[in-house]
Homo-oligomer: A and B are copies of this chain.
């Protein structure tokens, strides 16, 4: 299969809208994460080299170094989320004529579903790393990029929301209760943390971006 990340933006939205069950929300969540990390790196890049912000260069360089591999990791997750879904479909189509086949199919589906739940959990961990980069850039970037930075925060928030839904929808089909409980608890803690931090970043930018006559309005 052609990689989703090698499709043009228009082709990606076309295949997303189609009646193919994948790509779906899990890949979109990872794409949003890639955009969030890229917007963070962009604000670092637009700070580095501008004499006016020379005292911010060192931090911006460090955040560029931390943020750039996150873009690649999210893009990889765009494809891997869909591959995990396709492996689940393959398992579902295994033969189920004999008791032995049924048992093999059940185990293959259980394992594939666990993997499908673990992929968006990986996306959540990338969201946490990205929010940490954005936090360390807060107040330390070229102020002309404020809105780009804020959209970065909104991107990570949406990525985390998408990943969270995809962890859960897959856990609904996992039989292993201990696995479900553990991954749910870890995902919930991570999601709540990322959400609150991305929300705080966005709210701060939202206030600072308003036109002067409206800065005090809610």
Interface residues of A (CB under 8 A from B): 4-10, 12-14, 16-19, 21, 24-26, 28-29, 31-32, 34-35, 37-39, 41-42, 45-46, 48-49, 67-68, 71, 75, 78, 144-148, 150-152, 154-155, 157-158, 161-162, 164-166, 168-169, 171-172, 174, 177, 180-181, 184, 188, 202, 205-206, 209-214, 217
Contact = CB atoms under 8 A, between A and B. Distances in A.
A18 B39 contact: no
A16 B37 CA distance: 10
A5 B12 CA distance: 10
A174 to B, nearest CB: 7
Report copies per complex: 2
Contacts of A5: 8-10
A32 B147 contact: no
A165 B147 contact: yes
Nearest to A183: B211
Nearest to A47: B19
Contact of A42 (B17, B49, B184): B17
